[in-house]
């Protein structure tokens, strides 16, 4: 598995991560205590860990933190880069600290490597939220801070609200078929050495049947998923986090990054998907 430095932390993590958002029905039934197919999802996450994936992303919303804990059981915690997210209604200082404590309990760990604001909340001052984040860093419960689904102006505001720390990561929808963060946010993240976690890196599954990937895949004997992920992996600060729901798909995703696109293929993909 290829490793890449995560932001400016000096920490190297797998070039491909795993996301653990499943679907709205999973979330709704999870709130009621019914987690259909939970064992298969645990096995998928474990398969990714066995294949060398070290970056795992979850959230209090997803109802998957307990699954991640089950997959991590018996493994060295320091080998895993564990990220979770806080809901926008938990961004007041005390609410955020309480939300993290509940996530830590579900994850069966004492800290997370990355704690992210899931969505912005204009009704709560970012200075208050980021002050709470810095308290969690001081307490050793959080190593890095990130944001998700923020605009460029909101990212800048979040960064300026962290006087003693750095904003390490931004998480957004990014793939060959969803490129509206270019050049603005992507260029900004590169300049600031922020990691960009790309969710829906396979275009919510649409790229798995897109014939525009065929020629590159044939050149390297790679699947469409592996070509689409490789295009993201080769961007310096981008970490795709495809969903971990089936073990065979996770193993396929983990094999991305073990090869390289040619210069001509990068140009070809950029032109085909403009």
pLDDT confidence tier of residue 25, bands split at 50, 70 and 90: confident
Residues in Cβ contact with 102 at an 8 Å cutoff, skipping those fewer than 6 apart = 60
Helix (H, G, I), strand (E, B) or coil at 75: coil
Residues designated catalytic: 62
Domain 17-272 maps to which CATH number in 3.20.20.100, 3.40.640.10, 3.50.7.10, 3.40.50.720? Answer: 3.20.20.100
Q: Tell me the percentage of the chain whose pLDDT exceeds 90.
A: 90
The domain spans of the chain are: 17-272
Give me the phi and psi of 152, to 5 degrees please.
-60, -45
pLDDT tens-digit map of 165-187: 999 999 999 999 999 999 899 99
* pTM, two decimal places: 0.95
Q: Is 39 exposed, middle or buried (0-12, 13-18, 19+ CB in 10 A)?
A: exposed
CA distance 198 to 202: 10
Of 205, 273, 201, 207, which Cα lies nearest the Cα of 238?
201
pLDDT confidence tier of residue 27, bands split at 50, 70 and 90: confident
pLDDT tens-digit map of 80-138: 999 999 999 999 999 999 999 999 999 999 999 999 999 999 999 999 999 999 999 99
């Amino acid at each position: 598995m290829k490793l890449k430095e995560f932001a400016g932390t000096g920490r190297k993590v797998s070039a491909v991560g795993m996301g653990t958002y499943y679907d709205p029905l999973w979330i709704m039934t999870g709130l009621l205590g019914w987690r259909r197919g939970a064992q298969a999802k645990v096995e998928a996450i474990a398969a990714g860990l066995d294949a060398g994936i070290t970056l795992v992303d979850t959230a209090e919303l997803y109802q998957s933190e307990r699954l991640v804990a089950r997959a991590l059981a018996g493994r060295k915690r320091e080998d895993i880069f564990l990220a979770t997210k806080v809901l926008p209604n938990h961004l007041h200082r005390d609410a955020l600290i309480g939300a993290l404590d509940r996530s830590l309990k579900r994850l069966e760990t004492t800290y997370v490597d990355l704690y992210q604001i899931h969505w912005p909340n204009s009704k709560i001052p970012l200075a208050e939220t980021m002050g709470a984040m810095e308290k969690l860093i001081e307490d050793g419960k959080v190593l890095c801070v990130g944001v998700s689904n923020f605009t460029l102006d909101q990212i800048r505001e979040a960064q300026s609200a962290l006087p003693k720390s750095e904003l390490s990561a931004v998480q957004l929808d990014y793939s060959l078929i969803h490129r509206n963060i270019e050049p603005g946010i992507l260029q900004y993240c590169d300049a600031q050495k922020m990691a960009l976690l790309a969710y829906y890196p396979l275009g919510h599954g649409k790229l798995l049947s897109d014939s525009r990937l065929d020629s590159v895949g044939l050149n390297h004997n790679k699947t469409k998923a592996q070509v689409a992920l490789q295009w993201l992996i080769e961007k310096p600060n981008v970490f795709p986090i495809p969903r971990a729901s089936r073990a065979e798909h996770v193993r396929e995703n983990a094999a991305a990054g073990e090869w390289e696109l040619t210069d001509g293929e990068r140009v070809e993909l950029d032109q085909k998907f403009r």
